[in-house]
């Protein structure tokens, strides 16, 4: 009898080891994430990774010893790889003395609150595969996104809003890189973990609005009638799904109030709009979405993801790259300031970055103002701020050409492991069984938590 009891406890223990309710694996530094996705590949050479030495090498061919057979896209495969020095000037900011390109004046003001990671690298050189890898850990669509993994692992805090919300900037120009919904998809996880798009439209969430002529009290009565009949069916059939369904209709009803309350910025004071910049007064803009991101953080939404497209400056850096900086610089910096002064930065992780960087060689005539830069996977810069991240730090370094990582490389999967770590999740243990395999966000290649950026 004694041994039988021992057997029982041990068996149950072994089963519990695999159970999801063991999350978080350790105390979390970050309760939530705001991921500011910059789609298209912002140029680290103009914005973050200052290489003054390139001035002397202007127009020279990139040495093979640096290039080491790196592929470029077929857009520049047939042209010489001639070095184009940074088009933007760099300025020092803050106590940390961090250098930033002149096109990011506002970020300069919060530079002591953020941590630049200059040694990011990835495997893909084309947008869709690279962005898919950046957000799901694999270049092929079908894996859950970082946000879906987070929602699956940690669940919700706010019972009136989805755990994972996605906001796209409203642009006037057709984008060459559409934002596929698999970027926030749930892959093989149940679809309830996928990101819910918060739209700048009459219906911020699809189908949220009741039809005209159906006032709220009448909807309430109708749902009461529906619940009454569904409850009757539950009693007859015993199917627990019906109980869930009744609860989901109630949550839908609550969302009809909580979402418009969330997206209504009319109570935000002028001072807030001034902080986030003039574009924040335009609904759907990246700047307005940054204000929404703060409101979502205040409401304890677990994973908040913004997307800003069109960073793909293959030409005309002075007009193209600056245009995207104008859209995003002030609001991104304002978000950090705003979270900080409200005490939210302590447990909110902010991440800013795109799927890859840009090459040191000019695309087109390197000495023409028309020139741009092609995609580059071997190094790029992102920044992080908030919960558990060392402020005022520049982590990692590239070589003199901003071409290869020279110090402390951080692969995309290392970034994923680090974000999960901050959320209290051990990436190696966080798995989901699909097609007979235990899948992880960080995949099968070794991934490491970047301890150097953790405070």
DSSP characters over 306-373: EEE-----SB-HHHHHHHHHHHHHHHHHHHHHHHHHTT-TTTEEEEEE-S-EEEEEEES-TTSTTBEE
* CA-based nearest residue to 129, from 177, 96, 165, 163: 177
The phi, psi pair for 216, rounded to 5°, reads -55, -45
Size of the site for another protein (CB under 8 A): 112
Q: Which of 429, 448, 452, 454 binds another protein (CB under 8 A)?
A: 429
How far is it, in rounded angstroms, from Cα 23 to Cα 423? 10
Residue span binding another protein (CB under 8 A) among the ranges 56-64, 292-300, 353-361, 425-433: 425-433
How far is it, in rounded angstroms, from Cα 67 to Cα 64? 5
DSSP characters over 396-448: -EE-TTS-SEEES-EEHHHHHHHHHHHTT--TTT-EEEETTEEEETT-SS---
Residue span binding another protein (CB under 8 A) among the ranges 78-86, 124-132, 148-156, 383-391: 124-132
Smaller CB separation from another protein, 252 or 407:
252
Strand partners, 356: none
Pattern 299-338, another protein, x by CB under 8 A = ----------x-----xx-xxx-xx---------------
**Footprint of another protein on residues 194-223 (CB under 8 A)?**
196, 199-203, 205-215, 218, 221-222
Smaller CB separation from another protein, 392 or 434:
434
Burial of 95 (0-12, 13-18, 19+ CB in 10 A): exposed
DSSP characters over 151-186: HHHH--S-TTS-SEEEEEPP-SS--SS---GGGG--
Output the smallest distance, CB 182 to another protein, in A.
Answer: 7
Q: Is 172 in the site for another protein (CB under 8 A)?
A: yes
Q: Is 116 in the site for another protein (CB under 8 A)?
A: no
Q: Is 137 in the site for another protein (CB under 8 A)?
A: no
Q: Is 397 in the site for another protein (CB under 8 A)?
A: no
**Footprint of another protein on residues 432-451 (CB under 8 A)?**
435-438
Smaller CB separation from another protein, 263 or 398:
263
Tokens coding 174: 């057709």
Among all chains, which residue has been given the structure tokens 């869930």? 244
Q: Is 236 in the site for another protein (CB under 8 A)?
A: yes
Output the smallest distance, CB 333 to another protein, in A.
Answer: 17
Q: Is 226 in the site for another protein (CB under 8 A)?
A: yes
Q: Is 237 in the site for another protein (CB under 8 A)?
A: yes
Q: Which of 2, 78, 241, 451 binds another protein (CB under 8 A)?
A: 241
Q: Which of 135, 255, 360, 410 binds another protein (CB under 8 A)?
A: 255
Output the smallest distance, CB 426 to another protein, in A.
Answer: 9
Pattern 281-300, another protein, x by CB under 8 A = xxx----x------------
How far is it, in rounded angstroms, from Cα 344 to Cα 354? 24
Q: Are 361 and 304 spatial neighbours (Cβ–Cβ below 8 Å)?
A: no
How far is it, in rounded angstroms, from Cα 179 to Cα 342? 31
**Footprint of another protein on residues 75-104 (CB under 8 A)?**
75-76
Q: Is 182 in the site for another protein (CB under 8 A)?
A: yes
Smaller CB separation from another protein, 181 or 407:
181
**Footprint of another protein on residues 17-76 (CB under 8 A)?**
17-18, 71, 73-76
Tokens coding 108: 């300069």
Output the smallest distance, CB 109 to another protein, in A.
Answer: 18
Q: Are 188 and 137 spatial neighbours (Cβ–Cβ below 8 Å)?
A: no
């Amino acid at each position: 009898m004694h041994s039988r009891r021992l057997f029982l406890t041990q068996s149950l223990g072994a089963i519990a080891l695999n159970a999801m309710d063991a999350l978080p694996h350790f105390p979390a530094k970050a309760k939530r994430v705001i991921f500011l996705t910059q789609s298209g590949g912002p140029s680290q050479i103009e914005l973050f990774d200052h290489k003054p030495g390139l001035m002397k090498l202007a127009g020279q061919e990139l040495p093979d010893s640096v290039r080491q057979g790196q592929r470029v896209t077929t857009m520049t495969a047939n042209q010489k790889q001639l070095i184009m020095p940074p088009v933007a000037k760099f300025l020092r900011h803050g106590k940390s003395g961090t250098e930033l390109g002149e096109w990011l004046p506002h970020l300069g003001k919060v530079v002591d609150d953020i941590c630049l990671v200059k040694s990011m690298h990835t495997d893909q050189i084309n947008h869709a595969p690279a962005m898919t890898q950046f957000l799901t850990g694999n270049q092929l669509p079908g894996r859950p996104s970082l946000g879906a993994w987070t929602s699956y692992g940690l669940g919700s805090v706010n019972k009136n809003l989805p755990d994972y919300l996605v906001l796209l900037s409203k642009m006037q120009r057709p984008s060459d890189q559409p934002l596929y919904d698999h970027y926030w998809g749930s892959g093989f996880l149940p679809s309830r973990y996928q990101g819910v798009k918060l739209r700048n439209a009459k219906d911020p969430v699809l189908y949220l609005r009741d039809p005209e002529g159906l006032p709220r009290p009448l909807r309430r009565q109708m749902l009461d009638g529906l619940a009454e009949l569904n409850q009757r069916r539950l009693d007859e059939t015993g199917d627990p799904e019906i109980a869930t369904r009744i609860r989901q209709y109630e949550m839908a009803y609550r969302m009809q109030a909580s979402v418009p309350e969330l997206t209504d910025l009319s109570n935000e004071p002028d001072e807030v709009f001034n902080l986030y910049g003039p574009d924040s007064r335009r609904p759907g803009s990246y700047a307005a979405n940054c204000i929404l991101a703060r409101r979502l953080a205040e409401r304890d939404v677990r994973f908040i993801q913004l997307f800003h497209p069109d960073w793909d400056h293959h030409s005309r850096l002075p007009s193209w790259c600056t245009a995207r900086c104008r859209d995003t610089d002030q609001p991104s910096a304002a978000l950090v300031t705003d979270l900080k002064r409200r005490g939210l930065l302590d447990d909110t992780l902010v991440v800013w970055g795109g799927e890859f960087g840009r090459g040191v060689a000019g695309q087109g005539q390197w000495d023409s103002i028309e020139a741009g830069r092609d995609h580059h996977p071997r190094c790029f810069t992102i920044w992080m701020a908030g919960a558990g991240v060392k402020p005022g730090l520049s982590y990692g370094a590239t070589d003199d050409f901003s071409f290869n990582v020279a110090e402390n490389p951080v692969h995309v999967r290392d970034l994923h492991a680090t974000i999960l770590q901050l959320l209290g999740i051990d990436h190696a243990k966080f798995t989901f069984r699909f097609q007979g395999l235990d899948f992880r966000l960080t995949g099968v290649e070794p991934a490491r938590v970047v301890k150097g950026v953790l405070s």
